[in-house]
Structure 1
């Protein structure tokens, strides 16, 4: 089981943001809790279940065991992680 964090390339509110995703939702929520991200920040999206993480927090996530993945060098893995995150979307929530 793995938690992943992609490149911090998404601009919003004068920062760059990454996506925190995982093989399972319990792993995802556990890592977010370790990072101090509140559960209300969980993005239950059709595009994929994830948390948004500001760039400065990305390194901390990696230090806690998240696997860094890059849209530039890990394209196939990133596609698989996103596909899995889409499967975790809960339309009833």
Structure 2
């Protein structure tokens, strides 16, 4: 099982928190980090909030950090 780690402020905040968790750079995907279940409890203990996917998306959009996947023309 996986979670998404995002920031509702800045990408710098997100990257700093990911470093604190020991997340590798390859776990970053456009606007979030993919966080394995084994790291979830530690992230929450360090201040991350567990929210619904709807709330996560709302916070990303409100912060101007939402990055959609771009599809290449065929």
TM-score range, shorter chain: 0.7 to 0.9
Please identify runs of 4+ aligned residues in structure 1 that moved more than 4 A: none
Quote the offset at 1:70 in angstroms. Answer: 2.4
The counterpart of 2:2, out of the listed 13, 17, 23, is 17
Give the helix-richer structure, 1 or 2.
Answer: 2
- 1:55 has 2:41 as partner: no
TM-score, L = length of structure 1: 0.60
What runs of 5+ residues in structure 1 fail to find an aligned partner? 1-15
What runs of 5+ residues in structure 2 fail to find an aligned partner? none
TM-score, L = length of structure 2: 0.73
Alignment coverage as a number of residue pairs: 66
Match of 1:27, SS state, is helix
CA separation in 2, counterparts of 1:43 and 1:78? 15
CA separation in 2, counterparts of 1:78 and 1:34? 21
User: Contact between 2:7 and 2:60, CA under 8 Å: does it hold in 1?
Assistant: no
CA separation in 1, counterparts of 2:46 and 2:28? 19
Match of 2:23, SS state, is coil
Give the strand-richer structure, 1 or 2.
Answer: 1
RMSD (CA atoms)? 2.1
* Higher RCO (Cα < 8 Å, 6 or more apart): 2
